[in-house]
Amino acid sequence: MNSYLPELQSTIEKILSGPRGLLAADESFGTIGKRFAKNSIESTPETRRTYRELLFSTPGIENYISGVILFDETIHQKTSTGVAFPEYLKKKGIIPGIKVDKGTIELSNYTGDKITEGLDGLLNRCIEYKEKGALFTKWRALFHIGPSIPSSFAIEANAFVLSRFASICQSCGLVPIVEPEVSIEGTHDIGMCEEVTETVLKSVFNFLHFHKVYLEGIILKPNMVLSGKDNPKKASSEEVAERTLRTLRRSVPAAVPAIAFLSGGQSPLEATQHLAAINKAKNQPWALTFSFSRALQDLPLQAWKGNQSNLIAAQQLFLHRAQCNSAAREGTWSALMESEPPRL
């Protein structure tokens, strides 16, 4: 039996405490570079550090954010006052975590399919990250929907890698966040997304079982069941909630303590609306929370634009989005909450 089981459970309890969710601040250099470029911000180690400090130092954010997924660069950086980011977050009552995968590449001989790299040296990286203060990890597998994709082989290959990642992390006391993302990109309808998501999740949990992963010691980070971004027919929040919950009930064991949805290309408002609709359905076997990146960060980044004179305005927008998604986690969000951001 894994001697770290009490530690894993303790970390999950902290992540789930209060009506809070996760901030995914683990963008790779390429991803954050594109987001900065859209807002005329130069992407350098210092601008990235300053921006992430803006988010983490927002007054009151600890009431709505329980954990932050960091990028490798960020976990080694410090605040402007010289405090390491993991230590700074812990002092605020926020649990630091870390993205440990190395990104996706094309799956050889399977055009359009992706595979995630990073298993080589993962155990040693996990040990180092834990020494730096991380208590949980995250690994993303990406599945696009299109003609003949995702292939059955790509689904199984990524499910194997996700389960191997989870097993390695649990072996050194880190909670793995297992993220199988069915992409919103494409013209597919919501029915196809539901079908693919169910297939992917069933394969992931099949391989987690083979690897003897302790299900009570993981968090699942799936996509919501949505129409493709380029499909003109958009499903209502009620239909998204119905199909998402049906898919989860068919695929995810009740032993899993929490499901933290990714926002995956939705607008900030759409992500909140859908999360609220999902949580209006009570008596689910899992805690249903959020692990958002763009849905929390887009508006603050647009307000900041790399200019520190805009810091307070950006933090107000970040706090507001966190508050709205905290309410959505409880199923109490309403459109009235969107009317006016709080004042710091």
What are the residue numbers of the active site? 179, 221
Rounded CA separation 263/265 (Å): 6
Quote the tokens at residue 132.
């730096």
Buried-exposed string 126-157: b where 16+ CB fall within 10 A, e elsewhere:
beebbebbbbbbbbbbbbbbbeebbbeebbbb
Q: Kindly report the CA angle at 278 between 272 and 281, in degrees rounded to 5? A: 140
Sequence-separated (6 or more) residues with CB below 8 Å from residue 340? none
Give CA separation, 135 vs 61, 179, 327, in Å.
19, 17, 25
Is residue 203 within 8 A of residue 155, CB to CB? The reply is yes
Answer whether the bond into residue 150 is a cis peptide, omega within 30°.
yes
- Rounded Cα distance between 191 and 131, Å, is 44
Cβ neighbourhood burial of 120 (10 Å; 0-12, 13-18, 19+): exposed
